[in-house]
């Protein structure tokens, strides 16, 4: 593990300035999201725009497309979270088991379809894993925009898979970002749990 971090830090210092800026803004996004601060979304928009180019440059096709999607969701998330004084702020809620089952089946199906296509019709690296992190992130990002509490649990799995994927492709700054994300996700679970309104525990999101 010590050798892993030594290599990671060494390579981190050699990454492109675009990737480093994207990482910094990515950390700002998550820190602000933990506090339910609407300014997390502008940070996310710029960070994902930069990473879309970075991933395309190393042949992670699905990850690049994912970050273009993130840009759109950053706009949608800002709209959802930014309420006027005459509107009640969006509350943290939970999904029902059936909603999670649908989400997991959707992720699995899309992963197989796009993974199969990329494996047989492109030079994409790790087509199935790339597809899984992409479609998992698509669904989970929507959960964040709607303040679904379980998004943090989804991110634990997705960020772990992404960590391996980024490290394999030599994206060491992005790999370090995933490590930090995994730690911050734990804090996010704790932070959002403390902010849950009592009625949300009784009635899951529709």
Over pLDDT 90: what percentage of the chain? 42
Give the model confidence (pLDDT) of 111-127 as tens digits. 999 999 988 887 777 88
What pLDDT score was predicted for residue 2?
59
What pLDDT score was predicted for residue 85?
40
C-alpha span between 177 and 25 (Å, rounded)? 10
The residues, ordered by sequence, that sit 6+ positions from 65 with a Cβ below 8 Å of its Cβ are 52, 134
Give the model confidence (pLDDT) of 173-202 as tens digits. 778 878 988 998 999 999 899 888 766 565
Calculate mean pLDDT across residues 93-100: 95
pTM of the complete model: 0.76
* Average confidence score pLDDT of the chain: 84
Comparing CA positions, the residue from 50, 103, 106 lying closest to residue 74 is: 50
């Amino acid at each position: 593990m010590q050798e892993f971090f030594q290599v990671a830090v060494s390579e981190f210092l050699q990454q492109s300035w675009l990737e480093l800026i994207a990482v910094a803004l990515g950390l700002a996004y998550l820190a602000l999201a933990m506090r339910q601060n609407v300014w997390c979304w502008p940070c996310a928009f710029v960070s994902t725009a930069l990473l879309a180019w970075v991933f395309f440059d190393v042949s992670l096709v699905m990850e690049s497309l994912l970050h273009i999607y993130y840009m759109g969701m950053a706009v949608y998330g800002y709209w959802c979270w930014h309420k006027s004084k005459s509107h009640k702020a969006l509350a943290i809620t939970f999904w029902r088991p059936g909603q999670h089952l649908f989400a997991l089946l959707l992720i699995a199906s899309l992963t197989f379809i796009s993974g199969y296509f990329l494996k047989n019709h492109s030079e994409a690296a790790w087509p199935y894993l790339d597809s899984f992190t992409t479609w998992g992130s698509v669904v989970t990002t929507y959960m964040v925009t709607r303040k679904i509490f379980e998004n943090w649990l989804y991110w634990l799995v997705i960020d772990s898979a992404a960590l391996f994927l980024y490290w394999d492709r030599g994206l060491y700054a992005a790999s370090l970002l995933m490590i930090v994300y995994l730690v911050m996700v734990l804090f996010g679970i704790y932070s959002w749990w403390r902010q849950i309104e009592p009625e949300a525990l009784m009635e899951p999101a529709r």
